[in-house]
Amino acid sequence: MVKGSQQNVAVDQDIPIIDMSQERSQVSKQIVKACETLGFFKVVNHGVDQTIISRLDHESINFFAKPVHEKISVKSAIQPNFGYGFKDIGLNGDSGEIEYLLFNTNDSALLSQLSFSSAVNCYVEAVKQLAHEILDLTAKELGVPPNTFSKLISTVDSDTILRVNHYPPSDQFLSGGTTRVSDKSESLMRVGFGEHTDPQILTVLRSNGVEGLHVSNSDGLWVPVYSDPSAFCVNVGDLLQVMTNGRFISVRHRVSLTSETKSRLSTGYFVGPPLQTKIGPISALIAAKNQPPLYQTFTWGEYKKFGYSLRLQVNRLDMFYTSKDEYEDGKKNDEKIY
């Protein structure tokens, strides 16, 4: 069974909250612990200016309130599902009660179609700094060079995306709000974003105080993440699970909507490396735990292409486990990525 596919909800588990203003070594330790146990945590006192956040929220709400014909005109000339989207998540038949704006942070042609591109750019700049800080603290605690992860996302061709999700209240949703999760006990929950892991390195997510996000814990139970507009949620993505050789957990998560009257707004910043970057377990981390590498080496471009050909809830990483033979071959070739 796919881990996390159960409908049971764990109500008594707390999500780790990390105060970024603490002493650095404390912060590093707490980040690594959270990445190992749940693959998910919240950060407070993160240093991102509230006016930058409020401005993007305000502009996003205004954008989603526009007539449909205006919204659908925002689209990428090169990537079919980039720009404005409605209901469809990916290109393989997944859908939810959602509309969204999706763009590569360096796609200036797509960004220029938005009247609020400067609000987006300010937000991206601020959240990028936060993501770098978190990745550098993580590397330090793992005992690898501090820029091990952040250097992968520092170049102009890094494949980082921003996704603004708007989940309208059911009475406003044009499909009539008919998509429901199957389990009886949750029959009042509507599917906003079906369960999945994020494929990139790390996601930094914010939401507007309307509930809906759940993360799967190690028992496969869903833990509700209470929405705190002053905090950022951080989740480990597939690539970080691979690079840490499975020590960190790429957390499964989903959005189920319960509010009939309020819109949920969330903004996800997904940090990814350039397409040609080779990703595999980091030698020093394998050596430290005296383990074989659990995953094959692949480029982010290969992983992304493969992952985007699958349905949302498929566990993509299963396809990249190393067999014993490949491990022995790899040892012979002594291929090192870092």
Ligand X SMILES: O=C(O)CCC(=O)C(=O)O
> What ranges in 38-159 are assigned the alpha helix state H?
50-64, 68-71, 108-111, 117-142
141 lies in the site for Fe ion, by CB under 5 A: no
125 Cβ neighbours under 8 A, 6+ residues apart: none
- Map the footprint of Fe ion across residues 142-181, applying CB under 5 A: none
Report the nearest approach of ligand X to the CB of residue 145 (Å): 29
* Distances 33 to 169, 201, 212 between C-alpha atoms, Å: 36, 17, 25
133 lies in the site for ligand X, by CB under 6 A: no
Strands (E), the chain: 17-19, 40-44, 83-89, 94-104, 161-167, 190-196, 202-207, 213-216, 222-224, 232-236, 253-257, 264-271, 278-279, 298-299
163 lies in the site for ligand X, by CB under 6 A: yes
Give yes or no: 264 in active site. yes
Site string for ligand X, 210-229 (x = CB under 6 A): ---x----------------
Name the token pair of 192.
Answer: 């906003």
The one-letter code for the residue type at 189 is M
Catalytic residue among 252, 264, 311, 316: 264
Among residues 150, 165, 197, 245, which is the contact residue for ligand X, using CB under 6 A? Answer: 165
253 lies in the site for ligand X, by CB under 6 A: yes
Report the nearest approach of ligand X to the CB of residue 79 (Å): 16
Residue 138 contact, options Fe ion, ligand X, none, Cβ 5-8 Å cut-off depending on partner type: none
Q: Between 311 and 336, whose beta carbon lies closer to ligand X?
A: 311
The one-letter code for the residue type at 232 is F
What is the total count of residues that contact ligand X (CB under 6 A)?
11
255 lies in the site for ligand X, by CB under 6 A: yes
Residue 163 contact, options Fe ion, ligand X, none, Cβ 5-8 Å cut-off depending on partner type: ligand X
28 Cβ neighbours under 8 A, 6+ residues apart: 137, 138, 140, 141
Report the nearest approach of Fe ion to the CB of residue 21 (Å): 27
Q: Between 226 and 338, whose beta carbon lies closer to ligand X?
A: 226
* Distances 73 to 77, 101, 207, 251, 330 between C-alpha atoms, Å: 11, 11, 25, 34, 49
Q: Between 137 and 213, whose beta carbon lies closer to ligand X?
A: 213
What are the φ and ψ backbone dihedral angles of 48, each rounded to 5 degrees? -85, 125
Whether the CB-CB separation of 172 and 282 falls below 8 Å is answered with no
Q: Between 76 and 283, whose beta carbon lies closer to ligand X?
A: 76
198 lies in the site for Fe ion, by CB under 5 A: yes
Residues that bind Fe ion (CB under 5 A): 198
Residues that bind ligand X (CB under 6 A): 163, 165, 193, 198, 205, 207, 213, 253, 255, 266, 268
List residues with catalytic annotation.
264
